[in-house]
Amino acid sequence: MTPPAGSLLSAEQLRKAYGPTLALDGAEFSIHPGEVVAVMGPSGSGKSTLLHCLAGIVPPDSGTITYNGRELSAMNDSQRSALRRSEFGFVFQFGQLVPELTCVENVALPLRLNGTSRSEAERAALTWMERLEVDDLKKKRPGEVSGGQGQRVAVARSLVTSPRVLFADEPTGALDSLNGERVMELLTDAARSTNAAVVLVTHEARVAAYSDREIVVRDGRSRDMERVV
């Protein structure tokens, strides 16, 4: 199977085992720029592993991942790290903000990792914090803000490098539905306005409803509902 024309990130025949457990068993995936794709499935089905492979966090045992014409699966660790720093953004369920840095420093962190100067990075960070309505938290530390606010700070951080692909793993998992919806709205709005693709791992249908289409992972195999219908 060849990757669909115009896709930004695609994967074919992904296989990945953690010890004796087979997390991915021939999964397929593709996403276009500006598209929001939900990855759904029961827990333990391999959703997160798929995301980790697509983002180049873990290399798959076999299969190919193509990003923007380059083969991700052939890159070494430092090349993949560089790609993650410059082209990808990440939001996780929790445990991602550095507790001793202030919120604005947290948001500026990815830019700083890319070598941007501190003042410039924090200026850019503040713009994104304004967009996500958390600019008043800039001097606070993550321990001093609520879960919803913290997650918005995390979204601001994931967008600050203007990534081409945003990976979100259960981004609202720790939030109530009102906060969760607001985070999803802000996240998808921001992604659409920058034409970023979003890979959204979730088991909640109402979160998945913010996507353009969904794929279902079951027993390590993926099913693209768009192509089936």
Give me the helices (H) in 194-229, please: 205-208, 225-228
Report the residue number, 2 or 193, with the smaller CB distance to other proteins.
Answer: 193
Task: Figure out which of the listed residues 64, 81, 162, 179 binds other proteins, where binding follows CB under 8 A.
Answer: 81
Which span sits near other proteins by CB under 8 A: 8-16, 122-130, 192-200, 217-225?
Answer: 217-225
Tell me if 82 contacts other proteins by CB under 8 A.
yes
Tell me if 47 contacts other proteins by CB under 8 A.
no
In whole angstroms, how close is the CB of 2 to other proteins at the nearest point?
Answer: 24
Report the residue number, 2 or 84, with the smaller CB distance to other proteins.
Answer: 84
Site string for other proteins, 95-134 (x = CB under 8 A): xx-xxxx---x---xx-xx----x----------------
Give me the helices (H) in 57-208, please: 77-87, 103-113, 118-131, 147-159, 177-193, 205-208
Cα separation, 65 vs 56, in Å, equals 9
Nearest to 171 by CA among 163, 157, 160: 157
The order of strands in the sheet holding 197-201 is: 88-91, 165-169, 197-201, 36-40, 213-218, 221-224
Report the residue number, 2 or 151, with the smaller CB distance to other proteins.
Answer: 151
Contact yes or no for 165/8 (Cβ under 8 A)? yes
Cα separation, 165 vs 162, in Å, equals 9
Report the residue number, 48 or 151, with the smaller CB distance to other proteins.
Answer: 48
Strand partners, 24: 16
Which span sits near other proteins by CB under 8 A: 7-15, 26-34, 80-88, 124-132?
Answer: 80-88
Find where tokens 């306005």 sit: 193
Find where tokens 């939001």 sit: 91
Tell me if 70 contacts other proteins by CB under 8 A.
no
Site string for other proteins, 142-181 (x = CB under 8 A): ----------------x----------x------------
Cα separation, 194 vs 70, in Å, equals 22
Binding site for other proteins (CB under 8 A): 18, 38, 42, 48-49, 52, 55, 57-58, 78, 81-86, 88-90, 92, 94-96, 98-101, 105, 109-110, 112-113, 118, 141, 158, 169, 185, 204-206, 208-212, 214, 216, 218, 223, 225, 228-229
